[in-house]
Amino acid sequence: MLLKNYEEQSLLFNTNFTETTSNGGVAYRGELVIQEGEVADAQGRRKPPISLLLGAVVLEESDKIKLLVGLLTDLAQLELLLEKYGADLADDLCSMIFVRNIGNPIVLEALGKKFFLIPLDEGIPWNEAIDELALEKGDFKGQSAGDKLVTLYTEMKGYRAKGETLNLEAALGQTIEVKRTARGPV
């Protein structure tokens, strides 16, 4: 129901799938809008989003987000993400957020929950989370796309992240400047 509301509010972007899991939850992979684009016309249509949680992996159960994985290009976007979705986060949330502009892993404490922040220059959050948890293809064999998220959530419950435990203000003070190199044909 929660993800359906997000969809109706156009907060789900570039959706890969939204699927009911075998335990009655709802799984989503795609991108999650952090900052919506401004209204573009009289019909209320919007310009493209200003910022996104890229490669978002979301598992909803009982109208609460139990699993949140994704990539932020800037740690400052996390504050906006928490403002927008914080009330929908479950008490037993498992969260692994990859961030481009941090140099070391951080365990962030915010809203009474822990968010594992992991530096990532490039990569796909789903693949990186699987690698971080040391899961293999066999762990997902025969499962539907939605149930793979349940497996990820179950494995993440026992995960203990490396890194200093900080609040958001202290974490924002540890950001680094990211230098991007040119890619593609020359």
pLDDT in tens, 39-55: 888 887 888 999 999 99
Share of the chain above pLDDT 90, in %: 80
pLDDT at position 183: 61
Strand residue runs (E) in the chain: 12-20, 26-35, 51-61, 64-72, 89-99, 106-110, 113-119, 164-166
pLDDT in tens, 103-152: 999 999 999 999 999 999 889 999 999 999 999 999 999 999 999 999 99
pTM, two decimals, is 0.91
Query: Judging by beta carbons within 10 Å of its beta carbon (0-12, 13-18, 19+), is residue 37 exposed, middle or buried?
Result: middle
Share of the chain above pLDDT 70, in %: 96
pLDDT at position 45: 81
Comparing C-alpha atoms, which of 118, 69, 60, 49 is closest to residue 90?
60
pLDDT at position 116: 96
Per the prediction, the chain carries an average pLDDT of 92
Q: What is the mean pLDDT of residues 48-69?
A: 96
pLDDT at position 39: 85
* Pairing relationship of beta strands 51-61 and 64-72 according to DSSP bridges: antiparallel
Task: Name which residue leads in pLDDT, 80 or 179.
Answer: 80
Task: Name which residue leads in pLDDT, 51 or 185.
Answer: 51
Query: 46 with 36: CB under 8 angstroms?
Result: yes
